[in-house]
Structure 1
Amino acid sequence: MMTKIYIVYYSMYGHVEKLAEEIKKGALSVEGVEAKMWQVPETLPEEVLNKMGAPPKSDVPIISPNELAEADGIVFGFPTRFGMMAAQFKAFLDATGGLWRAQQLAGKPAGIFYSTGSQGGGQETTPLTAITQLAHHGMLFVPIGYTFGAGMFEMENVKGGSPYGAGTFAGDGSRFPTELELEQAFHQGKYFATIARKLKESF
């Protein structure tokens, strides 16, 4: 049986979506795994998004909370707002009360990836505070640790990410993920999918 991985994310300017694409590629590189990207619903009116300079959303489908239960493993991605996940993603998770009551996500592996505006803007606090959502659902957090090897110790160039998961810096919005950041996202997808497949095969 195939292991079904969902990459569920919110991306206002496209930075998180770029990471999501690489995570999907990484997951698909694992035999016996299928991966699908999903966006969470937008909560801001179109008028506000236009004023913020947000580009149109891609054609990646919008997920409903109940569809999370179909996945064998889920990687959640979001930008930072004041060191925590964006409100759009929090609103989506707040709507998973039915899944929580039925314990439909309990025991499922979960990963986290993210973007921040600056180096001190939440590369660790964002995933760290997001883990509380996973804990209440009984999900199994799968960090990448230092499995990315030498890439984790890059000091010559600015690089997002942490042991919690892949990350990127958006800066003023004009900076997009570097090759190294994309490689880390690919690695996370591959690593996470390998763990999720092992978990599924063990039951």
Structure 2
Amino acid sequence: MKIRVVYYSMYGHVHQMAEAIAEGAREVSGADVALRRVPETLSGDILKAMGAIDAQKAFAQIPICTIDELAAADAIIFGTPTRFGNMCGQMRQFLDATGALWSQGALVGKVASVFTSTATQHGGQESTILSFHVTLLHQGMIVVGLPYAFQGQTRIDEITGCSPYGASTIAGGKGERMPSENELAGAHFQGKHVATIASKLFR
């Protein structure tokens, strides 16, 4: 059972969440889990000006995802930072290149899930994931969220990400806040949840 965590991370927040997602998925017997990045569309000079170049070196060892890998997977968990309430341009460009998979029905019936990161508490945590789901539904995928069985969603003792639609983290206006213990726990839960569903469908 192949599970791929496909993400884009500029400053490392989504990368940390992706690692927690993968850890959770690996707890399910028979899960072959691997991290994959989508291609960068910004130049090195722009990334440097945005203060992102050093952070990206930390996960440069993660292979770039190919379109064929999507077709070979049983479940795909996508991670993207928010850009004005939607997925980032790098993820959008990657998904826009999957037209051939759509025409072949290559992703129909595969399990899909989404997690995200925003700068602020109400900066698109839910809209980013929900708008991402539209693409997945066009591909015929089975969309899985983060159920309230993850009780960290009901916490009111701290500011935290995560919603029924998927795990999320709040990065802060300058990216100074890394994922909290509760947010990473939500990501871990989501990874295991998706892998469990995929194992029932494909094993």
Shared fold, TM over 0.5: yes
SS of the counterpart of 1:25? helix
The residue number in structure 2 matching 1:169 is 170
- 1:66 shift after superposition: 2.0
Distance between the aligned counterparts of 1:180 and 1:45, measured in 2?
34
After TM superposition, list the pairs within 5 Å mapping 1:152-167 onto structure 2: 152-167=153-168
When structure 1 is superposed on structure 2, of 9-18 and 139-148 the one drifting more is: 139-148
The residue number in structure 2 matching 1:38 is 36
Cα-to-partner distance string for 1:36-88 (whole Å, 9 max, x where unaligned):
00000000111101000002342100011222111010000000000000010
Contact 1:77–1:113 (CA under 8 A) maintained in structure 2: yes
1:51 corresponds to which of 49, 59, 70: 49
The residue number in structure 2 matching 1:11 is 9
- 1:34 shift after superposition: 1.4
Does residue 123 of structure 1 match 2:125? yes
**Cα RMSD (Å) of the superposition?**
0.8
1:145 corresponds to which of 139, 147, 156: 147
Distance between the aligned counterparts of 2:18 and 2:117, measured in 1?
11
- TM-score for the superposition, normalised by structure 1: 0.96
The residue number in structure 1 matching 2:79 is 77
SS of the counterpart of 1:75? strand
Distance between the aligned counterparts of 2:146 and 2:199, measured in 1?
16
1:104 corresponds to which of 82, 103, 106: 106
After TM superposition, list the pairs within 5 Å mapping 1:13-32 onto structure 2: 13-32=11-30
Cα-to-partner distance string for 1:74-125 (whole Å, 9 max, x where unaligned):
0000000000000100000000011111110011010000000001100110
SS of the counterpart of 1:197? helix
The residue number in structure 1 matching 2:187 is 185
Runs of 4+ in 1 over 2 A off after TM superposition: none
Contact 1:114–1:168 (CA under 8 A) maintained in structure 2: yes
- TM-score for the superposition, normalised by structure 2: 0.96
Count of aligned pairs? 198
Amino acid at match of 1:123: Q
Task: For structure 2, list consecutive stretches of 5 or more residues without a partner in the other structure.
Answer: none
Distance between the aligned counterparts of 1:46 and 1:193, measured in 2?
35
Q: Between the two proteins, what is the percent identity of the paired residues?
A: 51
Contact 1:66–1:96 (CA under 8 A) maintained in structure 2: no
